[in-house]
Amino acid sequence: MDYRSAGVDIEAGYKSVELIKDVVATTNRPEVIGGLGGFAGAFSMSRYKNMEDPVLVSGTDGCGTKVKLAFIMDKHDTIGIDAVAMCVNDIVCGGAEPLFFLDYIACGKNHPEKIAKIVEGVAEGCRQAGCALVGGETAEHPGLMPEDEYDLAGFAVGIVDRKDIIDGSSLCEGDVLIGLASTGVHSNGFSLVRKVFDMTEDSLGTYYDELSGKLGDVLLTPTRIYVRALKNAIEAGVKLKACSHITGGGFYENVPRMLKDGTQAVIRKDSYDIPPIFKLMKDKADLDEKMMYNTFNMGIGMVVAVAPQDADKAIESFRAAGDKAYVIGNIAAGEKGVILC
């Protein structure tokens, strides 16, 4: 009797680490101390010693049941982008610069090549966000999880000077709401998505003209990372008054989180292009529209509030980062909440 016969292959773990070392190194920043393989990741803060009042901002999240599609399609190189996106997009909402990220992969059996593919996606997400992948953990759970399945989660830390925190406190009536386009469903609502469509290889491989692609490829499109877009705007001198990452709970749950008491967000549903995947789901399962806006991002992954005079510069900055941006509404006086019209 040994550990391998109990279901945990230590040698496979060693191989996984060897396979990912080079790709992890591509995310390094000058502040990273040491390399992969230590008991903890180290990150120097000396660069930020001139901040008046540095504040660390952290976020943790996973990809939800979107990983089920990766299993069925046997495609594992993008799900890691989702894991990073879900964390860093939350951090940047507060005005923070993401510094580093750690991943946690729980699997039924460690298949080193598959783990390497997952981590390649994590590293790509870190490069998009400008943060370093300083460590992680791959844990085999034989008997707890099926051998070919895994779950992926992550944790990120960022920094911001307290005076630069985006907290919605300066919001006022007449401020403009700008929406940054999503890349599709992102990583939320997949428990419903999996009820709308058959989760089979044939179903996910079906080509839809209205999607201009196969269903599985469209659904597995990774979550957009908005770090560069918001950083561009801040560096251009735009004061971002409030931000909301549109994740689980859609507009109705997330937009109010960016508001202060006495303000409400008025959003025009016809002010931007809704990706066809949402219409396909609505029609296929006869989904209620309000429920959809309370579940999915409906084509907007981030909502940002700015003063009217900053709107054009903000949109220009977002588009320079490669993001589609739309004026989707405004801030009005009233009971805290969101009005979709």
pLDDT tens for each residue of the chain, 341 residues long: 655 655 666 666 667 778 788 888 899 999 999 877 778 889 999 999 999 999 999 999 999 999 999 999 999 999 999 999 999 999 999 999 999 999 999 999 999 899 999 999 999 999 999 999 999 999 999 989 999 999 999 999 999 999 999 999 999 999 999 999 999 999 999 999 999 999 999 999 999 999 999 999 999 999 999 999 999 999 999 999 999 999 999 999 999 999 999 999 999 999 999 999 999 999 999 999 999 999 999 999 999 999 999 999 999 999 999 999 999 999 999 999 999 99
Secondary structure in 3-state letters for 262-306:
CEEEEECHHHCCCCHHHHHHHHHHCCCHHHHHCCCCCCEEEEEEE
CATH number of the domain to which 290 belongs: 3.90.650.10
Per-residue confidence (pLDDT) for residue 39, from 0 to 100: 85
pLDDT of residue 225: 98
Cα–Cα distance measured from residue 332 to residue 309, given in angstroms and rounded to the nearest whole number: 17
Domain end residue (candidates: 96, 131, 164): 164
Q: Cβ atoms within 10 A of the Cβ of 325, count?
A: 23
Domain assignment present for 188:
yes
317 contacts 240 by C-beta, under 8 angstroms: no
Residue 5 within any structural domain of the chain = no
Are 244 and 319 in a shared domain? Answer: yes
Residues 6+ apart with CB under 8 A from 59: 86, 87, 88, 90, 91, 155, 156, 158
Is 180 found in the same domain as 155?
no
Kindly state whether residues 150 and 62 are assigned to the same domain.
yes
Whether 128 and 193 map to the same domain: the answer is no
pLDDT at 298: 98
Domain boundary among 164, 197, 212: 164
Read off the CATH number of the domain in which 59 is found. Answer: 3.30.1330.10
DSSP-assigned letter for residue 248: T
Q: Kind of pairing, strands 300-306 and 176-181? A: antiparallel
Do 149 and 215 have their domain in common? no
